[in-house]
Structure 1
Amino acid sequence: MTDTTTIFGIRAVIEAIQNNKTIDKIFIQKGLSGHLFQELQRHLHGGEYNISYVPIEKLNRLAKGNHQGVVAKISPVAFADLEEVVLKAQEQETAPLFLLLDQIDDVRNFGAIIRTAECCGVNGIVVQKKGGAPITADTVKTSAGAIFNVPIIKVDHIKDAIYYMQASGIKVVAATEKTEDLIYSKDLSEPVALVMGNEGKGISPSVLKIVDEKAKLPLQGSIGSLNVSVACGAFLYEAVRQRL
């Protein structure tokens, strides 16, 4: 699959903004200046855009062409509304099951998680507007098309989604090694949202402070952690097992 979600050039990015395209991430060369760049800055002002200022070498890898110091990733999917997805899930007979991803970095991990989530009947996946992996062609490919079947929700901060879940009667359980409780001791048959953390840093401390419960997987080998998509699958299928 060719990555058709990458656009480059200042004018192309401005046109994407003007046409209300779902822009996942914008990469801007450090120290960029000029009249056209100032016009781009005016269009970006006040918007909730995920922007990274990077060296030109990064942009050269992202785009094979005259990128003019700006490259953007256009999401191939439209994002869903948190309140609408939660309300819809609560109207169904089965207990709601949500997945909250705290700044997952790798696009293939993201795709693999979406694929497993779809197989497990997850009602929606919540990600943060800034700091997480963009949705690229690799994400779509790794998800085996599941990304088009599961609502993806973007929020300003993952804590916003946690507070909303809790206010809606949905228990929030964090997957973390910073606990003695195993996932098998948790009741996942009730409405629940599982939180998975960043591949390297795990779940941020501010998020861990506000979740309802924490749980971990038993590790029998010498390696101290699992790939996040594998761990996510183990957590989700424990929820499935309890609900069968």
Structure 2
Amino acid sequence: MEKTTQIYGIRAIIEAVNSNEEIDKVFIQKGLKGDLIKELERLLRQKDISAVYVPVEKLNRLTKNNHQGAVANISPISFVSLDDLIEISNTKDKPALFLLLDQLSDVRNFGAIIRTAECTGVDGIIIQKKGAAPVTADTIKTSAGAAFKVPIAKVDHLKDAVFYLQASGIKIVSATEKTNTSVYDVSYAGPIAIVMGSEDRGITPSIIKVSDYTAKIPLQGEIASLNVSVACAVFLYEAVRQRLAL
């Protein structure tokens, strides 16, 4: 079920944090003073929730309501644990297919990737708690509702998730231009997790280093790279093609 994607007011946000709502980010007015805002800041630190300090004009653009100096973005979906993702995949009669998104920042790219993931039978998407694009109303719209169908897990550190997946018998394929191996030369027949990087920096080097395979998409034109959602589709449909041939 879709939930509200925004709450406003310091007391309301404090209540949401204490109720363990899935809060992606809190915007706080710069220079705000008082015991209530200190309590909110303490809770955000305790729960490891991202806070951004912005001018009041930014808050006024975020909501027309009386924000009292704070606005929070709430995820419209519920997240699952990494353990749950693996358990779900183990109940299926096909090899696991996961997608890890390393610091993807654009919500529409995120939505487009979720849509493709649903169409290609991805068992789950894994993102990092900090630095990842939030699931917003725009994400839901771009995903054509697929965000309610594909399980998504949030983890503290993506590299730790890589190690956990590998320990569970799942091979890691990182999509990077810094390799000589083509996307078409890697086997996706077994349990696989594909890692896609951020729009501007790609995959974190430490994650590439511990991956089982690296692969790139051969480009024939003059432009050096594809949009990340398009690149993701190429990888996922190569996995589908190989699996259909089995």
Q: Under TM normalisation by the shorter chain, which class is it?
A: over 0.9
CA deviation digits over 1:109-133, x for unaligned, max 9?
A: 1111000000000000000100011
1:156 paired with 2:133, answer no
Of the structure 1 ranges 88-97 and 106-115, higher mean CA displacement relative to structure 2 is found in: 88-97
Which residue identity is paired with 1:117? Answer: A
Q: CA deviation at 1:68?
A: 2.8
- Contact 1:4–1:137 (Cα < 8 Å) also in 2: no
Give me the whole-angstrom Cα distance separating, in 1, the residues matched to 2:41 and 2:89.
39
Give me the whole-angstrom Cα distance separating, in 1, the residues matched to 2:145 and 2:111.
9
Q: CA deviation at 1:4?
A: 4.0
Give me the whole-angstrom Cα distance separating, in 2, the residues matched to 1:56 and 1:198.
30
Aligned residue in 2 for 1:9: 9
- Contact 1:50–1:129 (Cα < 8 Å) also in 2: no
Give me the whole-angstrom Cα distance separating, in 2, the residues matched to 1:50 and 1:166.
29
Of the structure 1 ranges 86-95 and 62-71, higher mean CA displacement relative to structure 2 is found in: 62-71
Name the SS of the counterpart of 2:99 in structure 1.
strand
Aligned residue in 2 for 1:124: 124
Which residue identity is paired with 2:121? Answer: G
Name the SS of the counterpart of 1:159 in structure 2.
helix
Aligned residue in 2 for 1:166: 166
Residues 128-139 of structure 1: matches in 2 within 5 Å? 128-139=128-139
Give me the whole-angstrom Cα distance separating, in 2, the residues matched to 1:51 and 1:159.
23
- Contact 1:115–1:147 (Cα < 8 Å) also in 2: yes
- Contact 1:24–1:50 (Cα < 8 Å) also in 2: yes
Name the SS of the counterpart of 1:46 in structure 2.
helix
- Contact 2:44–2:50 (Cα < 8 Å) also in 1: no
Name the SS of the counterpart of 2:72 in structure 1.
strand
Aligned residue in 2 for 1:200: 200
Aligned residue in 2 for 1:141: 141
- Contact 1:103–1:198 (Cα < 8 Å) also in 2: yes
TM-score, normalization by structure 1: 0.94
Residues 1-244 of structure 1: matches in 2 within 5 Å? 4-244=4-244
Name the SS of the counterpart of 2:116 in structure 1.
helix
Aligned CA-pair RMSD: 1.5
Name the SS of the counterpart of 2:98 in structure 1.
strand
Which residue identity is paired with 2:151? Answer: P
Give me the whole-angstrom Cα distance separating, in 1, the residues matched to 2:132 and 2:20.
21
CA deviation digits over 1:36-76, x for unaligned, max 9?
A: 10121232242131333334443333222332332111111
CA deviation digits over 1:195-227, x for unaligned, max 9?
A: 001011111122212111110101111111111
Of the structure 1 ranges 196-205 and 14-23, higher mean CA displacement relative to structure 2 is found in: 14-23
Give aligned pairs, total: 242
Q: CA deviation at 1:192?
A: 0.4
Which residue identity is paired with 2:149? Answer: N
Which residue identity is paired with 1:203? Answer: I
Give me the whole-angstrom Cα distance separating, in 2, the residues matched to 1:154 and 1:191.
20
Instruction: Using the aligned pairs only, state the percent identity.
Output: 62
Of the structure 1 ranges 8-17 and 131-140, higher mean CA displacement relative to structure 2 is found in: 8-17
Q: CA deviation at 1:27?
A: 2.0
- Contact 2:44–2:51 (Cα < 8 Å) also in 1: no
CA deviation digits over 1:145-201, x for unaligned, max 9?
A: 111111000000111110101000100000111111110000011100000010111
Gapped regions of structure 2 (runs ≥ 5): none
Which residue identity is paired with 1:155? Answer: V
Gapped regions of structure 1 (runs ≥ 5): none
TM-score, normalization by structure 2: 0.93
- Contact 1:114–1:147 (Cα < 8 Å) also in 2: yes
